[in-house]
Chain A
Amino acid sequence: MTAGHRRALGWTALVTALAVYPFVDRALGTQTVHAVSDGMIYVLLALGLNIVVGYAGLLDLGYAAFFAIGAYAMGLLNSPVLGSPLYGYAWSFWLCIWLAAAVSALLGVVIGAPTLRVRGDYLAIITLGFGEIIPVAIRNLGDITIDIGGWRPIERLNLTGGENGVNPIGRPYLPGVPFETDPLPWYFLILVIGAASLWAMSRLRDSRLGRAWMAIREDETAADCTGVNPISTKLLAFALGASFSGFAGSVYAAKLQAITPGAFEFQVSIMLLCMVVLGGAGSLKGVILGGMLITLFDRVVLTQTTFMVRWVGRTAGVPALTTADLTLWRWFFFGLGLVLVMLLRPEGLAGRRVRPVAVSVDEADDPRVLEPAPAPSVDAIPRWLRERVPRAALSAPILDVRGVTKRFGGVIALNDVDLLVPQGAIIGLIGPNGAGKTTFFNLVTGLIRPDGGRITFEGAGLAGLRPNAIVARGVARTFQSIRLFPQMTVLENVLVGEHCRLAATVVGAVLRPPAVIAEETRARARARELLAFAGLGEKADDLARNLPYGDQRRLEIARALATEPRLLLLDEPTAGMNPRETETLTELIGLLRRELSLSVLLIEHDMEVVMGISDRITVLDYGTRIAEGPPAEIQRHPKVIEAYLGTGYEQDLATRERSR
């Protein structure tokens, strides 16, 4: 039996089990369908939260607020009771469920926008506050009176039902389906909504957008410098996460027929977070497992055990047991379970295990000459990269930096620095440690704003552009301390590089029209070609964090190339490499310039590399340009020798020239 058959068989078994289950339950008289249906609603909520927490890595402690908004959207729009300008219309359930999702998504954006510029702990605290505000607001909007000097334009207006909530709420209507009396239709309704949501989510995860979320989670700065717009990507996560809770909330409201603000308190947010963490953040299977475990434990196991304990108490004559109520201990058990999972399986019950990849087994004990890393070959250059080579070389410089100045507090990091990169040139940027070289890169790539001066790329100013917009213009970079997306695969890292050249939207990612499928196929093919060129073809499916150091450096360059740059900024690309690896990398940089007309700005301390491949070199010291010229001139420049090269280099140079 092939894997495909087994998969199909597994699916058939699962679908059959889910379809047969409520009938078996009825035949056995166990009456668990209600509890399971409610469980599925919470699973759907947890799945929505998983987009925010698991994929985008944004800790949201107030997610129940979106649940409340979904439920109240349904409640207010679909209640037959009059009394509020907002409700009493009893619109159809089938319409309201979409409206609820839309309202939730909208509020997700409204609330997300100001909070997304903060990160980590701060974001968590803001969402915590937001989660508290919503139930309070719902309570207080049940009785509004505006009094302006005796004139009351609004008097005792009941907008939300206040503490009493909304009751009753209209049920869905389908001819011949008994939603009023039977739990079965609810079970199937929720199952269908859940399955559809799951389908949409798994497609989103495997799309351009899912990769962008994970890149943001892994390293926001690196993602920004790889062409992913962090603001819109995070907002999208918030909006989509919220819209799924809108579905869940509206079904919840209609099923329960009544909602009160008490159902959306802080504990609900925490319980949902527990489900995500318990199952494994970022794993759809895990979140379903976590959600089902917690609700079933809460709704079935605890109540049944309570009955049992009381029965034991009665038969054994222990009065303390006869009145025991284990459901009061639910938070104790949740807490205990969470602690155990964190200690024993920190990645969650079904999370992606972080496993080191096996190194090649090498039993040889003799010292051998190590095979050098594969030298880059001209033939391996991906065709699509070649096609992007500018046809006619422009005479104007590709990068023109004039008089940039940057201050950090009282320290002048860069002072009136000029730098030109002609089309297709390799320009070295050297200087003592702390001279401002990386700061210069950060200015060009938009990570920080200059206090003065002008940066022009291909004739257009880069002022005010965010890093991802600058990547889209054609400037890519690597980082001094490698910044990959460690928990993503090698292939995914390169695909994130292609992000800004792809176009799939949310709808496209979910529905996958032929254009999107073609785009995705092409993107993957290109990424694989690029990896083969970088000598990483065999490692496409390894996690980036498991690559040896030299491979990580090359992957970072491959990721930068995937953005289709015309100017490449390399920050100490050979740091930590041995002479062999350094040589290979130097060849690669030369090849990129020669074959792809790529212009390169290079920070490097290995003088053999810099002097060997740079056309011209700029030297910084204390933020000021102290020299500029061709390598031969620079290595004899007295100021450069004094501040940077040292007399040791001079002697080295002399010995080498003598031996020539």
Chain B
Amino acid sequence: MLELADVHTYYGSIRALRGVSLVVSAGEIVTLIGANGAGKTTTLRTILGTVRPRRGTVSFDGHRLDTLATDRIVRLGIAQSPEGRRIFPRMTVLENLELGAFARADREAIAPDLERVFTLFPRLRERATQKGGTLSGGEQQMLAIGRALMARPTLLLLDEPSMGLSPILVDTIFRIIQDINRQGTTILLVEQNARMALRVARRGYVIQTGRIVLQDAAAELLRSDVVRRSYLGEK
């Protein structure tokens, strides 16, 4: 479904990605784990076209993404919940969610999806008329995920969805991720909480300084020495 082949992405003269290749097949949850600065967020940015690869190709369902404008990529059915939330602070929670559905053609299906988001995050329903910027950090995180869901994407990119959430919500978030995956959404998940990510994912990639250094079934990665010591904090 999604394929990155030997992708090199630069910021100015700095090589952020040094030949990343990865595949996400339809219906999967795939996780990308790695230290801060390893290139996880850059990988997501390259997929969405907010930075362009200097070499290599990104393709999605037969379309080349690396030459396509970001808004067109989103219309192909890719949505993301970005790192650092990036909600619209001066618009209400409801308006933020409605904007998530901006590129959708099936207008009549939006209302039930809004209802679904409010059911997933009751806190957003309580705050529906508040400005996005007045929400607490964790609530903004919920809003960013909710907004991405409103696009009803076929591929959902999640950048650290559990960041800043209470333990009970971290559990909820990972349950939600499995739920929406079961409903047919393919997910590429970037997480610091590698343990949880590997528990819900089918396969995983480990990225170090811009290269994929390991790839395997998630269950295997959970057992891997390197992963356990570098990313799970075990001695």
- Residues of A at under 8 Å CB distance from B? 355-360, 362, 364-370, 408, 430-435, 437-438, 480-481, 548-550, 572, 575-583, 605, 607, 643-646, 648-649
Q: Which chain A residue shows the least CB distance to B170?
A: A605
Task: Indicate whether B136 reaches chain A with its CB closer than 8 angstroms.
Answer: yes
Q: Is the CB of B166 within 8 A of A367?
A: no
A549 touches B165 (CB 8 A): no
Return chain A residues, CB-CB under 8 Å to B164: 433, 480, 572, 575, 605
- Give the distance in Å from the alpha carbon of A315 to the alpha carbon of B230 in the complex: 80
User: Across the interface, which residues of A come within 8 angstroms of B169, CB to CB?
Assistant: 432-433
> A358 to nearest B CB, angstroms?
6
Name the distance in Å between B14's Cβ and chain A's nearest Cβ. 5
With A359-B37, A438-B136, A581-B36 given, is the CB distance from A433 to B166 under 8 Å? yes
Q: Using C-beta atoms within 8 Å of the partner chain, give the interface range for chain B.
A: 35 or more
Q: A residues within 8 A CB of B192?
A: 576-578
**B211 interface contact, C-beta 8 A:** yes
Which of A360, A362, A433, A646 is in CB contact (< 8 Å) with B138?
A: A433
Q: Which of B170, B194, B214, B226 contacts A578 (CB 8 A)?
A: B194
Complex CA gap A144/B206 in Å reads 80
| Complex Cα gap A224–B174 (Å) | 38
Interface of chain B residues 134 through 188 with chain A (CB within 8 A): 134-139, 141-142, 160, 163-172
Nearest-Cβ distance from residue A572 to partner chain B, whole angstroms: 6
Of the A-B pairs whose beta carbons lie under 8 Å apart in the complex, a sample of 6, sorted by A's number, is A368-B230, A433-B139, A548-B36, A548-B37, A644-B167, A646-B172
Using A368-B208, A408-B134, A550-B36 as known contacts, say yes or no to A649 and B167 having CB atoms under 8 A apart: yes
Question: B226 contacts A367, CB within 8 Å?
Answer: yes
- Interfacial chain B residues near A582, Cβ < 8 Å: 233
In the complex, the answer to whether B84 meets A577 with C-beta atoms within 8 Å is no
Cβ-closest chain A residue relative to B194:
A578
* Bound form: Cα–Cα A230–B136 in Å: 25
Contact of A646 among B134, B139, B160, B168 (CB under 8 A): B168
B64 within 8 A of A: no
State the CA gap A241–B160 with chains docked (Å): 45
Main secondary structure of the interface of A (DSSP, over half): loop
Q: CB within 8 A of A434: which of B139, B171, B208, B209?
A: B139
When distances are taken between beta carbons in the complex, the residues of chain B under 8 Å from A548 are: 36-37
Of the candidates A369, A438, A577, the one whose C-beta lies within 8 Å of that of B36 is A577
Closest to A576 in B: B163
A437 to B164, CA, bound (A): 12
Bound form: Cα–Cα A532–B123 in Å: 43
Q: Is the CB of A433 within 8 A of B14?
A: no
For B162, the closest partner residue in chain A by CB is A605
A437 to B134, CA, bound (A): 14
Q: Which residue of A lies closest to B11 (CB)?
A: A356
Of the residues B15, B209, B213, B233, contact of A580 by C-beta under 8 Å: B233
The answer to whether the Cβ of B229 comes within 8 Å of any Cβ in the partner chain is: yes
Select from chain A the residue with minimum beta-carbon distance to B85.
Answer: A481
A435 to B225, CA, bound (A): 39
Q: Does B217 contact A (CB under 8 A)?
A: no
Instruction: Report, nearest first, the 7 A-B pairs whose CB atoms are least far apart.
Output: A579-B233, A433-B138, A646-B168, A548-B37, A648-B171, A367-B213, A549-B36
Q: Are B213 and A433 in contact (CB under 8 A)?
A: no
Q: Are B123 and A433 in contact (CB under 8 A)?
A: yes
**Which of A368, A548, A579, A649 has the most chain B CB within a 10 Å cutoff?**
A579
Instruction: Please tell me which one of the listed residues A356, A431, A438, A481 contacts residue B84 in the complex, with CB atoms under 8 A apart.
Output: A481
CB distance from B232 to the nearest CB of A (A): 6
- Bound together, the chains give a CA A577 to CA B160 distance in angstroms of 10
Report the Cα distance A21→B167, complex, angstroms: 72
The answer to whether A365 touches B37, judged by C-beta atoms less than 8 angstroms apart, is: no
B11 contacts across to A, CB distance below 8 A = 356
- In the complex, the answer to whether B233 meets A434 with C-beta atoms within 8 Å is no
A605 B166 Cβ-Cβ under 8 A? yes
Task: Determine the chain B residues whose CB is within 8 A of the CB of A578 once the complex forms.
Answer: 35-36, 192, 194, 230-231, 233
